[in-house]
Amino acid sequence: MLTQDQERLIAATAPVVADHLDAITQRFYPLMFDRYPEVKPLFNDAHQQSGGQPRALAGAVLAYVQLRSDPRKARDTLATVVSKHVSLDIRPEQYPIVGECLMAAIGEVLGEAVTPEIAAAWSALYEELAGLLIELEDHRYREFAQRPGGWRGKRRFRIAATRQESAVIRSFVLEPEDGGAVADHQPGQYIGVRLVIDGEPVHRHYSLSDAPNGRSYRLSIKREPDGRASRHFHDVLQVGDTLELLPPAGDLTLAEGHEPLLLASGGVGQTPMLPLARHALARGRRVVYLHAALDAEHHAFADEVAALAAEHPGRLQTVTVHERGDGADHSGRVDRELLARVLPEGAHCYFVGPQGFMSAVDRALAELGVPDERRHYEHFGPSRPLDAA
């Protein structure tokens, strides 16, 4: 627990740290990777180079400083961080590494302004934050391990089947190598994957693209030209190959209630929408399913969505948008005018896709009067505000 003097020091120096937080986190990661190279595989190189990962860390630290006086809000704000950590199997013994390197980065960026007393106060704050995260993560680990078909840590799965869904998206059906049951996930969640590529461990997160069935998980992965893991899936892995999975995680799950839903996706952002749609329709809710793709060749799951609409006539409305070519309901891009035409009254809105797509949808929905608590989204990568695009 922080002393009163430390509380005052944190309050006094928080604005200065906030002003320099981007610089601190930009320095933090290279420093940590240099001192502790064994943790580097836990991080996505592309998110490091884009600045997404440092911004996510900066946002989490700053949010905790602002909300720590309200424990409930602090826990809610940290939910995304906890989910990512669970899907990476982050352990308590790794937190001191982060604390050491974060304080070193603060010292390097702020220099002599960081007195021993200020350093001790921020170290105590980090220990408080780390303790809370360890507690929340342990609860998630234990809860999932106790489910039928659950586990803790890594579990080996084999590729049982694959299917090409579009020009760039392929599905992989994964079954446990031990032949046991598979714990149900919440529709909309993602799962942590550990691969070994050229002898090096690589960690990634992918949405679970099918409803839970107790036997397998399905990942539907877009081949990115510069994506180390996605190219390995598409170009190397075959039926019968194995990989390791971490417990499912993520908070893009169905809001309780009977209100209609708008599920809007762009490109591979469709993957969490499929299980969300199935889950909502099974509960009798009305769903507007809007998907935007580059063209027909890049439009994945068209047959699967059509079959789902046939199973639920009158309750699933599909809307397709292609930037080019024919074969869709609308040409161009998703905009405010289109959303105004298809948005059900009182709907909860879920949207996932490229950053520009999500920012445009979020702005349009806000202009159409959809309140914050009815707009749900998740980034494929480090979470950050939509206005950061």
Q: How many CA atoms lie within 13 A of 338 on its CB side?
A: 21
Read out DSSP for 12-75? HHHHHHHHTHHHHHHHHHHHHHHH-GGGGGGS-HHHHHHTHHHHHHHHHHHHHHHHTTSHHHHH
| C-beta neighbour count of 253 within 10 angstroms | 18
**Facing residues of 208 across strands?**
219
Indicate which residue of 137, 244, 304, 378 is catalytic. Answer: 137
Residue 337 among the catalytic residues: no
Q: Is 291 within 8 Å of 321 (Cβ atoms)?
A: yes
3-state secondary structure of 223: coil
Indicate which residue of 64, 95, 350, 377 is catalytic. Answer: 95
Token pair belonging to 187: 């529709």
Residue 190 among the catalytic residues: no
Q: Is 80 within 8 Å of 383 (Cβ atoms)?
A: yes
Query: What residue has token string 């762009």?
Result: 266
CA distances from 121 to 23, 32, 93, 115 (A): 20, 21, 21, 10
How far is Cα of residue 60 from the mean position of the Cα atoms in its chain?
Answer: 14
Distance of alpha carbon 147 from alpha carbon 182, whole angstroms: 9
Count H helices, E strands: the chain?
13, 12
Beta-carbon contacts of residue 55 (< 8 Å; ≥ 6 apart)? 22, 25, 382, 384, 388
Distance of alpha carbon 378 from alpha carbon 358, whole angstroms: 9
Burial annotation 332-351 (CB, 10 A radius, 16+ → b, else e):
eebebebbeebbbeebbbbb
Task: Please state whether beta strands 261-266 and 287-293 pair in parallel, antiparallel, or not at all (unpaired).
Answer: parallel
List residues with catalytic annotation: 95, 137
